[in-house]
A and B are shown apart, each in its own frame.
Chain A
Amino acid sequence: MKRRLALILLVGLVLGCTPHEESSNHITLDFWVMGSEGERVQSLLPAFERAHPGIKVRVQQIPWSSAHEKLLTAHVGGTLPDVFQLGNTWLAEFVALRALAPLDDVLSAEAQADIFPGVLAANRMSGHLYGLPWYVDTRLLFYRADLLQQAGVARAPQTWSEWIDALRRLRAHTGSAPLILPFSEWQTLIALSLQQQAELLRDDGRYGAFKQPAFRAAFAFYIRLFQEGLAEVGGELRVGNVYQAFADGRIAMLVSGPWNLGEFERRMPPALREVWATAPLPVPDDTAYPGRSIAGGASLAINAKSPHSQAARALLLFLSAPPQQLEFYRATGDLPVRMSAWSMGKLQQAPRIDAFWQQLQQVQGVPPVPEWERLASLVMRHAERVARGLESQEQALTAMDQEADAMLEKRRWLMDRAAP
């Protein structure tokens, strides 16, 4: 009797372990989402499941800080979910891993034309769309309009010279370095260099191009902000809480992205609700304003090995439709990628968000190479060393090119092998 019971238990265990979702004509889609979006996206999903009765979506929240490692490990272990969120700059890496299914036919050409062109382009690798933009990120100026006014500057700076001038006046007015530029955020320096039309990498991403005049000019400007004492080295550590420092005027400007719209809304004391503002990034003198900034944000991708690719496509189509984009914006504050969603919500006219609309007309992605994050950290390592006076700009630029070339050796080898 006991033995029979054990046998039944064993059989039950084995059956319990095998997936039998298909049998009942029911598909469960696994969907990994990062950060707080993972929680908020769930309010959108019941509508999707009603429209697609055969599909259930199971959301798993992944913290941003470990998302990259988790996705890589999941890929190696063969446990990538059907659908997952990806940071735009990771896309090339996952394409190199052959982890992503091409998504060219998910959206109609018309719908694709509705997405900010720079953002869509950043998701295209070797002719295929591998990520469907979900929400956008770019960097621009957040500033205290009242302090600027008191310092004698009428409007937000539009050129680099105006920017320097405004910062000098602010410093004279408040008595402390008014700008915060953390070395952990490569996006600012890269956005400045994109304004100078810097290539960053040359020969199709085979070699570093940091010694070229365009990057050199942006780098020199970035360093000058520190050398003139307009931004403090390690200032973000010193001020501790950025919002607090912004509220009490110790800092008056920062270069940041859309998520801070919500944060400032929440954290500024009532008296300051109306005095903080945003503006597109100042451009190099003698160029048209607003200029370029960096195309960032998150995309949705489908696991190349997913057995439910049709259902996954349906989910992507649903989440990128303008009504859901607008709803998602209302839930999270993440800016929609579809321009028609902006029009539906009249976001172009909304104060502070309008600057993002202007900036997003001209955004550009980083070079689509899997090594990008590594290259960015290398650039920032040297930027920090120069700002701290540990090496000269010339030494830094030379070292950047050298180290980038060494980092890209494998890429060159693979490209040469592929093209005989």
Chain B
Amino acid sequence: MKLPAAFWFLAPALGLIAVFFLLPIAAALLLSLTDFDIYAIGDPSALRWIGPDNYRQVFEHPLFWTALSNTFYFVLLGGPLSVGLSLGAALLLNARLTCCRTLFRTIYFLPVVSTLVAVAVVWRALYSPDAGLLNQMLGVFGIHPIDWLGDPDWAMPAIILMAAWKNFGFNMIIFIAGLQAIPDRLYEAARLDGAGSWAQFRYITLPQLAPTFLFVALMTMIGYLQLFAEPYVMTQGGPANATLSLVMLMYQEGFRWWNMGFAAALAFVLFVIILAGTLLQLRLQRRDGG
């Protein structure tokens, strides 16, 4: 049998994907069926094949449900907030009357490309309960100081606020591209029919942006479900585990305690959650669109 020429063109890329992507996934799947831990590193005979037991343990883990609800809290509040901010900024920057667009676009995009650790240092100062700028501003309106990162009720909102600010620039650029692809003649026709700016937004901009919207919403959801770096540098998952996310839990179990089997199982659970979320979104959007 002779392989088609196309195969050989694809082979290098496929080879890389197989070695660096598929193989590790398969290995992780096998790992997730064992109780690989520090004992097993010292003595391979201490490795037990425990099959689906790891997955049962994931659901019985005292912190799994905390981490899951924290992650959902972050996605459900932070996702729409971040996408909304992006859309708002994109509309503003795309408006005809806005001056210095490039300047503002750069400024809004700056947080995306700046180092998270540096950003975290600045935000920690902003959130400082006594001397923080945020509390001082609230104080002007007579609001009592909030212990942003120290109070379990406020820590997650604080993380959400920072993450939304840090990330909205990226989606904003995509929205701007989407907005610029909408032909002007649609707006002209609408104006001739007497549509106001809200009607134009509702019946032209939004439907025309639907594919962009789907992409942005999906990528944001997938990215936010993997929340890790923000709580890792800001709160280490605290206070009282109020900002512990699924990936953070995975990191702790895997690299801090070296429970690789358990961490691998948790990774697959997260994969299923992300897959389910993606399918759900695709379905909702298709129903809306069709």
Where the two chains meet, the residues of A that have a C-beta atom closer than 8 Å to any C-beta of B are 68-69, 72, 75-76, 93, 96-99, 183, 234, 237-238, 240, 370, 373-374, 381, 384-385, 388, 390, 399, 403, 410-411, 413-414
The 5 closest A-B pairs by CB, nearest first: A97-B42, A234-B150, A237-B150, A98-B42, A374-B257
B77 within 8 A of partner (CB): no
A410 touches B35 (CB 8 A): yes
Closest to A384 in B: B240
Q: Which residues of A contact B147 (CB under 8 A)?
A: 234, 237-238
A381 touches B241 (CB 8 A): yes
| Chain B residues numbered 91-133 whose CB sits less than 8 Å from any CB in chain A | 128-131
- Can you list 14 residue pairs at the A/B interface with Cβ under 8 Å? A97-B41, A98-B42, A99-B42, A234-B147, A234-B151, A238-B147, A373-B257, A381-B241, A384-B239, A385-B240, A388-B240, A390-B240, A410-B39, A413-B48
Q: Which of A69, A237, A373, A403 contacts B62 (CB 8 A)?
A: A403
C-alpha spacing A248/B152, complex, angstroms: 28
Minimum CB–CB distance from B45 to chain A (whole Å) comes to: 9
B258 within 8 A of partner (CB): yes
A410 touches B37 (CB 8 A): yes
C-alpha spacing A240/B147, complex, angstroms: 12
Known: A93-B38, A237-B150. A72 touches B240 (CB 8 A): no
| Chain B residues numbered 127-152 whose CB sits less than 8 Å from any CB in chain A | 128-131, 147, 149-152
C-alpha spacing A388/B240, complex, angstroms: 8
B39 touches A238 (CB 8 A): no
C-alpha spacing A234/B238, complex, angstroms: 10
A237 touches B41 (CB 8 A): no
Q: Which of B35, B38, B129, B238 contacts A72 (CB 8 A)?
A: B38
Q: Which of B38, B129, B130 contacts A97 (CB 8 A)?
A: B38
Closest to B152 in A: A388
Minimum CB–CB distance from A388 to chain B (whole Å) comes to: 6
B150 touches A238 (CB 8 A): yes
B43 touches A98 (CB 8 A): yes
> Which bracket fits the contact residues of B?
20 to 34
Minimum CB–CB distance from A87 to chain B (whole Å) comes to: 14
Where the two chains meet, the residues of B that have a C-beta atom closer than 8 Å to any C-beta of A are 35, 37-39, 41-43, 46, 48, 62, 128-131, 147, 149-152, 238-241, 255-258
Q: Which residues of A contact B152 (CB under 8 A)?
A: 388
Closest to B239 in A: A234
B38 touches A370 (CB 8 A): yes
Q: Which residues of B contact A68 (CB under 8 A)?
A: 256
C-alpha spacing A374/B35, complex, angstroms: 16
C-alpha spacing A237/B242, complex, angstroms: 15
Minimum CB–CB distance from B111 to chain A (whole Å) comes to: 24
B240 touches A240 (CB 8 A): no
Closest to B46 in A: A414
Q: Which residues of A contact B257 (CB under 8 A)?
A: 373-374
Known: A69-B256, A237-B150. A414 touches B39 (CB 8 A): yes
C-alpha spacing A411/B121, complex, angstroms: 41
Minimum CB–CB distance from B103 to chain A (whole Å) comes to: 36
Closest to B62 in A: A403
Q: Which residues of A contact B240 (CB under 8 A)?
A: 381, 384-385, 388, 390
Q: Which residues of B contact A238 (CB under 8 A)?
A: 129-130, 147, 150
Q: Which residues of B contact A97 (CB under 8 A)?
A: 38, 41-42
Q: Which residues of A contact B48 (CB under 8 A)?
A: 413
C-alpha spacing A47/B42, complex, angstroms: 36
Q: Which of B35, B37, B38, B128 contacts A240 (CB 8 A)?
A: B128
Minimum CB–CB distance from A166 to chain B (whole Å) comes to: 26
B258 touches A72 (CB 8 A): yes
Minimum CB–CB distance from B22 to chain A (whole Å) comes to: 23
A399 touches B41 (CB 8 A): no
B43 touches A240 (CB 8 A): no
Known: A370-B39, A403-B62, A410-B46. 8 other contacts (CB 8 A): A68-B256, A69-B255, A234-B239, A240-B128, A374-B257, A381-B240, A385-B240, A399-B62
Closest to B255 in A: A69
Q: Which residues of A contact B258 (CB under 8 A)?
A: 72
Closest to A232 in B: B150
Q: Which residues of B contact A385 (CB under 8 A)?
A: 240
A240 touches B130 (CB 8 A): yes
Closest to B129 in A: A238
B39 touches A96 (CB 8 A): yes
Minimum CB–CB distance from B136 to chain A (whole Å) comes to: 15
C-alpha spacing A373/B256, complex, angstroms: 9
B42 touches A96 (CB 8 A): yes
C-alpha spacing A413/B48, complex, angstroms: 10
Q: Which residues of A contact B241 (CB under 8 A)?
A: 381
Minimum CB–CB distance from B34 to chain A (whole Å) comes to: 12
Q: Which residues of A contact B130 (CB under 8 A)?
A: 238, 240
Q: Which residues of A contact B43 (CB under 8 A)?
A: 98
A237 touches B129 (CB 8 A): yes
C-alpha spacing A403/B38, complex, angstroms: 19
Q: Which residues of B contact A390 (CB under 8 A)?
A: 240
Q: Which residues of B contact A374 (CB under 8 A)?
A: 257
Minimum CB–CB distance from B243 to chain A (whole Å) comes to: 13
Q: Which residues of A contact B62 (CB under 8 A)?
A: 399, 403
C-alpha spacing A399/B38, complex, angstroms: 24
Minimum CB–CB distance from B185 to chain A (whole Å) comes to: 57
